[in-house]
Amino acid sequence: MDVIPAIDLLNGLCVRLYQGDYAQSQVFNDNPVEVAMQWVEQGATRLHIVDLDGAKTGQVVNHKVIEAIASAVPVPIQVGGGLRDFASVEQLLNLGVQRAILGTIAVEQPQLVADLCQAFPHQIAIGIDARNGKVATRGWLETSEVLATDLARQMQDLGAATIIYTDIHRDGTLQGPNLEALRELAQAISIPIIASGGVSSVTDLLSLLALEPSGVNGAIVGRVLYTGDISLKQAIQAVGQGRWQDVPPDLGSSAFA
C-alpha cells in the first residue's frame, strides 16, 4: 500500500482545509514545490495534488505551480480540482501529470468521462468525495443524491483506472479513516481504491493496510504529516513492515469482520 502525501493548493500556497471548508484553511507553506521535494526526499513514491481554487471555480487555476512540481520531482503526481472539460484534462497531462482526477463531471457528464478514459487509458482516476455515503460535487460545496458505491461501479464500467475515496466528515479532522465505507466500496468494485481523509496515526495506516487484499492499495495522508504528528518515513516504514503488534487487538480482529 502506497503512502501518498497530499499537497492542497489555494492561492498558490500549500494549505489544509477542515472538512472541506474553505473558510477553515490553514497555510502550511508558501512554497508547494519545496514541500513536494521534501516529501520525495523522505520516500514518497507518488504525490496527490488538489487545486482547491480549481475545484471551486470549475477550471484549473494553479497551472504554474503544478507544472513546477511535475518538473521538480522524479515521482508520478496525480492532480484533481477543476477538471470539467476535455481540454483541461489534456492540458494538465501535457504538463507532466501522470494521472488526472475527475470529480464533478463523473456525476454530471459520464459520457465525457468515458471519452477521457478512452483517450488517456490508465491516466484517469475518479475522485469520489462523500457525505453520509452520497457524492459531493463542485469543491464539496454541493451534495448530490448519487450513492458513492453506485458511482464507483459506473466509473469502473467506463474505464477509470482507480477510485480515490474521501469521506468529507473525516477529512482534515485526524479522526481516522472510515473503514466501513471503504470496505463497502471495495466489495462493490474490482479496480484499485485509494483512501483519503482522517488518517491521524500509524495505527490508522495499518488499519487501511488490512484492507489491501480487498483492493485498497493507497492512502493519502495530509494534515498529520504537516503537523508533525507522524513522519512520512515512519509511515512508509510501518506500512512496509506491516507491524501488526502496534495495532490494538480490536483493529486486528472484529474491526475487519
pLDDT, residue 250, reads 39
Residue 250 appears among annotated catalytic residues:
no
Helix 110-119 and helix 86-94: axis angle, to 10°?
30
Q: Which three cell numbers stand for residue 116?
A: 477521457
Q: Which CATH class name applies to 2-256?
A: alpha beta
Q: What angle do CA 60, 62, 67 make, to 5 degrees?
A: 105
Amino acid at 229: D
**Catalytic residue of the set 53, 129, 167, 204:** 129
pLDDT of residue 169: 67
For residue 174, the model assigns a pLDDT of 61
Q: How many whole angstroms separate alpha carbon 220 and alpha carbon 77?
A: 12
What phi, psi does 201 have (nearest 5°)?
-160, 170
Sequential pLDDT tens for the chain (257 residues): 999 999 999 989 988 776 666 777 788 889 999 999 999 999 999 999 999 998 888 888 999 999 999 999 999 999 999 899 999 999 999 999 999 999 889 999 999 999 999 999 999 999 998 888 889 876 556 677 899 999 999 999 999 999 999 888 665 556 788 899 999 999 999 999 999 988 889 999 999 999 999 999 999 998 889 989 899 999 999 999 884 444 443 333 222 22
